[in-house]
Amino acid sequence: MAITRASRHLVQNEPLIFERSAAGKRGYQLPPLDVPAADLTGLGRLRRDQIADFPEVSELEVIRHFTRLSTWNYGVDTGLYPLGSCTMKYNPRVNEQVARLEGLAQGHPLQPEELSQGALRIMHLLSRYLLEITGMDAITLQPAAGAHGEMTGILMIHALLSARGEARHKVLIPDSAHGTNPATAAIAGYQVQNLRSNARGTVDLADLDRVMTDDVAALMLTNPNTLGLFEEDIHRIADLIHERGGLLYMDGANMNALVGRARPGDFGVDVMHLNLHKTFSTPHGGGGPGAGPVAVKSELEPFLPIPVITAGADGRLRADYDRPRTIGRMRSFYGNFGMFVRALAYIMANGCDGLKQTTEDAVLNANYIRRGLEGAYALPYDRPCMHECVFSDQKQQAHGVSTGDIAKRLIDYGFHPYTVSFPLVVRGAMMIEPTESAGRDELDEFIAALRAIAAEAETEPERVKSAPHTTRLSRLDEVSAARQPILRWRR
């Protein structure tokens, strides 16, 4: 039986499920047919026996196959997942239970409004909480991810400036920004102008003053930035942008450092997105579904995507499509509703004090790691951080060991790697975000692992450079694995 390259690697020394196939084995049992058999020919559907080489295996073999595959993966439910900038926190199971309630899971967006009041109420309530948390005036829950939220926000900025009769062509983006920021600005038709960071790792005010001309539509700023540092001059930055007619977009992917402690709406932000799948504990990874709500100041409210959920005088909620200045739809229906349910469950389970505590614990954990690894790894910006810390491989480079090698070696120690080589302003970056979910024992083990790897880099660098040694596959061609994944067992 033909096996692809990928599946041959996967089996190694274990028999491959597809090779256990034998004619007549069944993985299901159906009751005898009690209706007339339908003729499916001509419907374009294939019967199992029309597919050549369709594997025939038992139910148990199928279960074992997929269960085994699942154990070859690593997730937040397996152990620490300190992927910087991703906020890979625990997804509380109570969220899942609530999202599976029949009335919510089985709801349909085409249900009449009078039968959807509960779902609308969930979205309305979540919106109000998110506005309270961010200090903004109005919000859309529609975008399906952070990057999608960025696009929504920038289109709204464009609409506002057009309404003012202004054609501004540039968007300023700091050199520490996430790659989605310049991509968003470029796709929206703006020219991207790079903004330099200063020696402290934050926006260089002199550079901002130089590049902030009347051709600049907006500054896209992440705060805390991707170095995990709070932009302390945020008020002056906001004033400078506003004085010259621009808008301040905040990439809110790092809100896990701010919730309950600081509100972007209070420090001059005009529009921002949130990542519910980061800050608000909805599942993350595997390509979705996510949710990237966009919150705005009142000036931008008329441009929100449709529909906007509004409450009538009688308390009934409705989806308002009659909004002449809207930028239109950004996604079908209301967005990824299941994520709203989970985020709301998370917010309500934590309450104000819990959310604040979460933020403080996330920041404490990152600083614990920062101090724990001092001396073992170079720290390009040596100052207290927020929810994540960024080291570099500078010391290990002397032995030919890079951030990517160290990350691979971490796998042998049982941890998911940190974020490698981002942010780009730090050469050989090692970006670590433990989140509040990690307990002290786990942080200590993680620190010990990274310290052991630092020692190995000096004494046996080859061992680090050829890691991982404990996985089924060692070094993949990561680009091809992402761009041309082999998703079938046979071509």
Ligand X SMILES: *Cc1c(COP(=O)(O)O)cnc(C)c1O
Tokens read off for 371: 């101090």
Position 253 contacts ligand X (CB under 6 A):
yes
Position 226 contacts ligand X (CB under 6 A):
yes
Tokens read off for 322: 């009659």
By C-alpha distance, which of 280, 278, 143 is closest to 222? 278
Residues 79-118 close enough to bind ligand X by CB under 6 A? 85
256 residue type, one letter: N
Neighbours of 114 (CB within 10 A): 8
From the list 246, 268, 290, 417, which residue makes contact with ligand X (rule: CB under 6 A)?
290
Decide whether 18 or 230 has the Cβ nearer to ligand X: 230
From the list 142, 180, 281, 435, which residue makes contact with ligand X (rule: CB under 6 A)?
180
Q: Rounded to whole angstroms, how far apart are CA atoms 402 and 431?
A: 13
Q: Rounded to whole angstroms, how far apart are CA atoms 154 and 134?
A: 18
Decide whether 146 or 428 has the Cβ nearer to ligand X: 146
Position 275 contacts ligand X (CB under 6 A):
yes
**Secondary structure E strands in 114-262:** 138-140, 170-174, 191-195, 216-222, 247-251
Q: State which H helix or E strand residue 419 sits in.
A: strand 419-420
Contacts of residue 189, Cβ cutoff 8 Å, sequence gap at least 6: 158
Q: Which stretch binds ligand X (CB under 6 A): 248-256, 365-373, 397-405, 459-467?
A: 248-256
Decide whether 18 or 381 has the Cβ nearer to ligand X: 381
DSSP letter at 203 equals B
Position 419 contacts ligand X (CB under 6 A):
no
The minimum distance between CB 175 and ligand X, in angstroms, equals 13
Position 184 contacts ligand X (CB under 6 A):
no
Decide whether 85 or 437 has the Cβ nearer to ligand X: 85
Q: State which H helix or E strand residue 142 sits in.
A: none
Decide whether 140 or 275 has the Cβ nearer to ligand X: 275
Position 222 contacts ligand X (CB under 6 A):
yes
Position 145 contacts ligand X (CB under 6 A):
yes
Decide whether 327 or 431 has the Cβ nearer to ligand X: 431
Do residues 156 and 205 lie in contact, with contact meaning Cβ atoms separated by under 8 Å? no
Position 178 contacts ligand X (CB under 6 A):
yes
Q: Look-up: residue for tokens 């930028």?
A: 327
Neighbours of 485 (CB within 10 A): 9
Q: Which stretch binds ligand X (CB under 6 A): 140-148, 202-210, 323-331, 391-399?
A: 140-148
Binding site for ligand X (CB under 6 A): 85, 145-147, 178, 180, 222, 226, 251, 253-254, 275, 290, 292
